[in-house]
Amino acid sequence: MKYYHAFLLCLISTLTQQVQAQEQCNFGSRAAGMGQATVTLSDVWALSNNTAGMAGLKAPAVGVYAENRFNELAFTTIALQAVYPTQKYGTYGLSMSRFGDALFSQQHIGVGMAHQLGQFSLGAKADLWQVAVKEYGSQKAVALSVGVQGEVVPQLYFGAFAYNLNQARLASFEDERLPTVMKAGLSYRPTRRLLLAAETEKNVDHDADLKAGAEYALLREQFILRTGFSTLTRKATFGAGFKARQLQVDYALGSTTLLGLSHYLSVSYQFDVARSD
């Protein structure tokens, strides 16, 4: 009977990972609107997208995120992330998320750290994941990740991130593991208002995905438009953001030819407080 339970957990996990694997290291509606070309971005969502990007934050920030894929309640993700930079000891972050419903769910809690070294920043993160199937128990695993970001030449940025380097195992049956994902890319800011980004993402179990996106700021940089695409999923995305002082609200819409629409909404707040640490 325990092998049947393990097989069921493995089957459901495999099916949902086709939807969820990318989102284990891609959070936030800004990223979604840019086709998930996230590896060079520096914001509160960098904690999961590329932990090294946290080092670019100068003040504490917190963000909440909700995502619904294909208008199916079972494919809903909610997340909370918080980042706290210090003056001497690097930048620290805490992330939590939950995907799924009462039948199947996948949740995590993670901690990360990033540090600026000259023009480059380094980051590392550990995530505790739990995959649960109703009436058949759950499995836990810890995924370890590392990342780097840097400005190669003025206005040209490089980023790389390796998620789940340890290939954490969820179940011994069929050697079921969390996805291992590696991504690297560049972004270029030809003007203060325009950002262009492109990257390659490779899940070790699937083909490589080429992703690209752009964002353009309007109205004193308070209103932002975004678009992007993914070649592997054949998904086009569109998004918009609004900044009001330290508050930022972002929304994105994704479309695939077969599965339908996906919606992404995030709200973040960056504090402006003096610190003596």
Assigned domain for 174 exists: yes
- Position 15 scores a pLDDT of 43
| 75 or 135: which leads in pLDDT | 75
Assigned domain for 193 exists: yes
Average pLDDT of the residues in 120-131: 96
Q: Residue 6 — very low, low, confident or very high, per pLDDT cuts 50/70/90?
A: very low
Task: Output the six-digit token pair for 145.
Answer: 């990740």
Helix-then-strand count for the chain, H and E: 3, 16
- Comparing CA positions, the residue from 102, 133, 100 lying closest to residue 4 is 133
Q: How many domains does the chain have?
A: 1
Instruction: Decide if 75 contacts 98 (C-beta within 8 A).
Output: no
E strands, the chain, in order: 61-69, 76-85, 91-100, 104-117, 120-133, 137-153, 156-163, 169-171, 176-177, 181-188, 194-203, 208-218, 223-230, 235-244, 247-256, 260-270
Q: Residue 273 — very low, low, confident or very high, per pLDDT cuts 50/70/90?
A: low
Q: Is the pLDDT confidence value at 4 over 80?
A: no
Domain assignment of residue 49, given as a range: 2-270
> Using alpha carbons only, what angle is made at residue 187 by residues 185 and 190, rounded to the nearest 5 degrees?
160
Assigned domain for 100 exists: yes
CATH of the domain at 148: 2.40.160.60
**Which pTM was predicted?**
0.88
Q: What is the pLDDT of residues 27-70, one digit of tens each?
A: 999 999 999 999 999 999 999 999 999 999 999 999 999 999 88
